[in-house]
């Protein structure tokens, strides 16, 4: 299956410019950092993992579609993890939350690393278990 590229002409009529060209090395690096920035949550628990991707999303969403998309994905995923963490803390009173916290932490680290690797390869990565809260 051949992929189609969206093309548009510039105002001077000098030809077509691909709209979905592959991200540059700089964009791939920033996309990777958008995912890895969630590890700030290890230093500043709860909201640190959300704050860093949010700042990157705000800074890059207008400058680079790829970096903006990856930062938004990281933000949505970390918001989802924050919500699940709060639910796990409540469930600790039933002793189920302790196991959920361990599983959640291991899954968070694993999926964040996978997302960072994919972004560094220039792949538009979407987390499989994520609420799409930020559009």
pLDDT the model gives residue 21? 82
Average pLDDT (109-126) is 96
Q: Taking the CA of residue 35 as centre, how many other CA atoms within 13 Å lie in the half-sphere pointing to its CB?
A: 28
- Structural domain containing residue 54: 22-120
Whether residue 132 is contained in a domain is answered as: no
Task: Look at residue 15 in the predicted model and tell me its pLDDT.
Answer: 36
Cβ neighbours of residue 18 under 8 Å, at least 6 residues apart? Answer: 5, 6, 7
Determine the pLDDT at residue 8.
Answer: 36
Q: How many CB atoms lie within 10 A of CB 71?
A: 29
pTM of full prediction above 0.85: no
Largest Cα–Cα distance in the chain? Answer: 67
Higher pLDDT, 16 or 42: 42
Q: How many domains does the chain have?
A: 1
In a domain, 5, yes or no: no
Assigned domain for 43 exists: yes
pLDDT band, residue 34 (cuts 50/70/90):
very high
Assigned domain for 98 exists: yes
Domain assignment present for 37? yes
Q: Is residue 125 part of a domain?
A: no
Specify if 130 maps to a domain: no
pLDDT in tens, 48-81: 889 999 999 999 999 999 999 999 999 999 999 9
Question: Mean pLDDT over residues 22-49, rounded?
Answer: 91
E strands in 35-104: none
What is the DSSP secondary structure assignment for residue 12, as one 8-state letter? T
Decide if 72 is inside a domain.
yes
pLDDT at 10 over 50: no
């Amino acid at each position: 299956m051949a992929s189609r590229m969206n093309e548009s002409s510039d105002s001077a009529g000098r030809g077509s410019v691909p709209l979905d060209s592959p991200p540059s090395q700089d964009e791939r690096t920033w996309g990777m950092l958008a995912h890895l920035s969630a590890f700030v949550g290890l230093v500043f628990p709860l909201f640190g993992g959300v704050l860093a991707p949010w700042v990157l999303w705000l800074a890059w969403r207008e400058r680079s579609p790829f970096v903006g998309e990856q930062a938004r994905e990281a933000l949505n995923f970390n918001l989802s993890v924050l919500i699940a963490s709060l639910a796990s803390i409540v469930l600790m009173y039933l002793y189920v939350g302790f196991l959920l916290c361990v599983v959640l932490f291991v899954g968070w680290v694993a999926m964040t690393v996978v997302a960072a690797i994919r972004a560094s390869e220039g792949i538009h990565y979407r987390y499989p278990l994520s609420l799409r809260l930020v559009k």
